Chain A
């Protein structure tokens, strides 16, 4: 069942010592807005764009925000691009793998008509696997960065903002997997701030970016997943 939550408190997080934040490109203005907000917070934002076959559009980026493109979805190419990001934009302690301090995945909106029924979308499946592999390869960076400040692994899905419980929106089912991944990483990487967020598809990009930023500053480390919709901020808990 859903548990209503108040707005989070705001933890003053010192300027990260590993200030590169990788943000995946969902092809919407949300990427633009969030990249700007993160830049304003002191992050060096690198937007990682998927191949056009996976996400057809690329978000517009403000000056100062970098873009690195995945030409294909292979693990080797992904590794190459992650290394490129670390060496090109990382100003951290080279050789110790702490150049990247944050990873935020914005899952593109996969929304289908009612007639389409239950959809396991091929592109969404490819993205889910890619995020799984990104987690695998960013583990050294994020866990090292956690030693000197708050480092982040965030996934943002757009189900219905209430973890799929509304029974009103025909969202892509595979995006739900991101919650399982992030909650697991939260257990494996106890020092890394891991949070899975579900945003109602109708939320405005500006509001969405503010919600994500607020979550990044939440002092509450026992919360692993949170949803935003017209019902406000909620968690999903098992009824006892």
Chain B
């Protein structure tokens, strides 16, 4: 397939292209390609401005002159009538400016005043322009209408107006110009469609239809470069400085005109020929819901199988898959974060492995989590008590895990601890520990890459895990908390014990997991493991994990592990105990 490139003889038809953001996009493309333009808009442009308006750009002054002119003609200058004339004059000016700019660039352009929702007139008006400009090779559907209000205040007419410009408009455009003749078809959609947008139910509907229309057009015309662009808010007249500040507080970025128009140019690159839908910019999502004072309890069930959780095959002890403690922590944590969208995992305290889940064929099919909200503080923090249990065949309850989860609207800024800076030359490959079965973990969990330093108190390692396919993560997705990287941190104790000629160990308790940022895949992480208390049967240690810049992601404090010879045997090797 030969992909068409835009050149000086390309002819683009642009709805809503006379002014505003769409016109800015047209100008940017014209600068790049000097192609030909047919711009459509509902507004009429006056042939010439009345003499009294010429050169007057100050809004207040212009309005004053409109009033005077109306009075001179014996008309009553109501605020509405004045605004109408004012809009007509400024709109005409905007459109003329767009056309002038295009002319200066060397891009031939014509403006056609027509409503895209009116098929008959559209056809009629387009025919003579196409005769002059040449056959249309690309369409940009930028026209749109808003009727922002809450759903209960919407009218049927709001729906019709907003829907018609976007959807009927597209339908009409492709009725006039068969898609088969188009090299490019660009639909201006919105993040309102992709993420939803409070106050814009009709607009979201229309834009989602455009999004899926792009996919359908790709099905019918694979040769056409069709793309629906879900634009975030632009830094234009529509966004006031106050709104911009409000957006900034909520982490919503506005698209600078320079950047957005260049993104469109990039999007039309043949490289992205098969990308039917893109999102450019931030979603306009409301801040997380305010917390009411009520403390709720939830009972949430999960069925567990090894088949649905392929990673378990890389966590086998004594022949049976065992749920890693960090995955159980992830279970407790994600139940809480899912109940409070917008809130982030901050800490897990008093996490206890009461009876780990071993997939030996006798395990329960269903596990039950009792999630209890125990505190909500100044609408910023939610605390939970979570207990996970299953019912045995004899009807008795068996508790598996418990802990207290804290979510916060904002996490404290991560502290800095430069673990990596102390790197020595005497590093040892982490892989050897997996090979000699000091670490029993399979590929999913083989994240200790280098042992940087080990002494009788601590161990420093470099860790890394490549990103894991979500299907492989099964029911334990590394979203709110990455249990796979966290397990790698837990593993450090096994290397330390081995270096101290000790047996294997498994975690039974973590006093506190504090998260500043979720641990990433695909990125080197440095971890410092420090032993706190060590007896012949147990060890208590801390682990701090940071990136190469020293930014701390996670801190584990008071990890308690049980040491036993039997574990070493189960791991697949006997560690020679020193006598």
Q: Using a CB–CB distance below 8 Å, which chain A residues touch chain B? A: 3-7, 9-12, 75, 114, 117-118, 120, 125, 128-129, 132-133, 135-136, 139-140, 159, 163-165, 167-171, 173-174, 176-188, 190-191, 219-222, 224, 232, 238
Contact A120 B167 (CB under 8 A): yes
Interface residues on B, range: 35 or more
In the assembled complex, the Cα of A12 lies from the Cα of B369 at a distance in Å of 11
Q: 8 closest Cβ contacts across the A-B interface?
A: A183-B196, A180-B204, A176-B212, A180-B208, A177-B205, A222-B341, A220-B338, A164-B215
Q: Which A residues are CB-close (under 8 A) to B215?
A: 164-165, 167
B503 interface contact, C-beta 8 A: no
Contact A9 to B300, CB < 8 A, known contacts A3-B470, A173-B216: yes
Q: Could you tell me the distance between the alpha carbons of A179 and B203 in the complex, rounded to whole angstroms?
A: 12
Most buried by B among A3, A168, A170, A222: A222
Q: Assess the B308–A6 pair: CB atoms within 8 A.
A: yes
Set of chain B residues within 8 Å of A184, measured between Cβ atoms = 151, 192, 196-198, 200-201, 204
Cα of A182 to Cα of B192 in the assembled complex, Å: 11
* Bound-complex Cα distance A129 to B408 (A): 39
Chain B nearest CB from A190 CB (Å) reads 4
In the complex, identify which listed stretch (B27-35, B67-75, B152-160, B529-537) lies at the interface while the others stay far away.
Answer: B152-160
CA gap between A136 and B219 in the complex, in Å: 34
Q: Is the beta-carbon distance between A188 and B198 smaller than 8 angstroms?
A: yes
* Binary CB contact string for chain B from 182 to 223 against chain A (1 if under 8 A, 0 otherwise): 000000000011111111111111111101110111111010
**Using an 8 Å CB-CB cutoff, how does the interface string of B339-351 with A read, 1 for contact, 0 for none?**
1111000000000
> How far apart sit A185 and B167, CA to CA, in the bound complex (Å)?
21
- The answer to whether A238 and B470 touch across the interface, beta carbons within 8 angstroms, is no
Task: Pick the contact of B301: A12, A167, A185, A188 (CB < 8 A).
Answer: A12
Name B156's contact: one of A3, A129, A171, A182 (CB within 8 Å): A129
Considering the complex, give the chain A residue whose CB is closest to the CB of B480. Answer: A222
Minimal Cβ-Cβ distance residue in A for B337 = A222
Assuming the A-B contacts A10-B301, A221-B339, are A181 and B201 also in contact, with contact meaning beta carbons closer than 8 angstroms in the complex? yes
B475 nearest CB neighbor, chain A only: A6
Q: Contact between A180 and B171 (Cβ–Cβ < 8 Å)?
A: no
A162 to chain B, nearest CB (A): 10
Quote the shortest CB–CB distance from B222 to chain A (angstroms). 8
Cβ of B285 under 8 Å from chain A: yes
Asked if residues B289 and A132 are in contact (CB atoms below 8 Å), the reply is: no
Q: By the criterion CB–CB under 8 Å, are B193 and A219 in contact?
A: no
User: A residues within 8 A CB of B298?
Assistant: 11-12, 219
Answer yes or no: B279 CB below 8 A from chain A CBs: yes
Q: How far does the alpha carbon of A117 sit from the alpha carbon of B299 in the complex, in Å?
A: 48
| Also in contact, A171 and B216, with CB within 8 A (given A176-B209, A182-B196) | yes
The dominant DSSP class at the B interface is helix
Interface residues of B in 158-192 (CB under 8 A from A): 159-160, 163, 167-168, 171, 174, 179, 192
Residues of A within 8 A of B199 (CB): 188
Complex CA–CA separation, A222 to B208 (angstroms): 19
B279 CB contacts on chain A under 8 angstroms: 238
User: Contact between A187 and B285 (Cβ–Cβ < 8 Å)?
Assistant: yes
Report the separation of the CA atoms of residues A9 and B336 in the bound assembly, to the nearest whole angstrom. Answer: 13
Assembled-state Cα–Cα distance A190/B277 (Å): 27
Please report the C-alpha to C-alpha distance between residue A12 and residue B366 in the assembled complex, in whole angstroms: 13
A-B contact pairs, 12 of them (CB 8 A): A9-B302, A9-B475, A117-B220, A120-B167, A132-B159, A133-B159, A140-B152, A171-B216, A180-B208, A181-B205, A185-B201, A224-B196
- Name the residue of chain B whose CB is nearest to the CB of A10: B301
Residues of B within 8 A of A173 (CB): 209, 212-213, 216
Cα A219 to Cα B299 with chains together (Å): 9
B526 CB to closest chain A CB (Å) equals: 25
Contacts of A135 in B (CB 8 A): 151, 201
Q: Which residues of the partner chain A approach B201 to less than 8 Å between Cβ atoms?
A: 132, 135, 180-181, 184-185, 188
What residues of chain B lie closer than 8 Å to A188, measured between beta carbons?
150-151, 198-199, 201
Instruction: Please report the C-alpha to C-alpha distance between residue A178 and residue B471 in the assembled complex, in whole angstroms.
Output: 28
**A11, B300: Cβ atoms closer than 8 Å:** yes
Return A142 CB to nearest CB of chain B, in Å: 11
On chain A, the residues within 8 Å of B337 by CB distance are: 222
A103 to chain B, nearest CB (A): 13
**A127 shortest CB reach to chain B, Å:** 12
Tell me how far the C-beta of A233 lies from the nearest C-beta in chain B, rounded to whole angstroms. 10
Q: A187-B286, A188-B151 are in contact. Are A177 and B216 (CB under 8 A)?
A: no
Query: Contact partner of B338 among A120, A171, A182, A219, CB < 8 A?
Result: A219
Which residues of B have CB within 8 Å of A12?
Answer: 298-301
Complex Cα spacing A9 to B304, Å: 10
Do residues A187 and B196 form an inter-chain contact, with CB atoms below 8 A? yes
- Give Cα A169 to B216, complex, Å: 8
Residues of B within 8 A of A182 (CB): 196
**A4-B470 CB under 8 A given contacts A181-B201, A184-B204, A220-B338:** yes
In the complex, how many angstroms separate the beta carbon of B336 from the nearest chain A beta carbon?
Answer: 10
Residues of A within 8 A of B220 (CB): 114, 117-118, 170
Interface status of B356 (Cβ within 8 A of chain A):
no
Q: How far is the CB of A131 from chain B (nearest CB, A)?
A: 9
A68 to chain B, nearest CB (A): 21
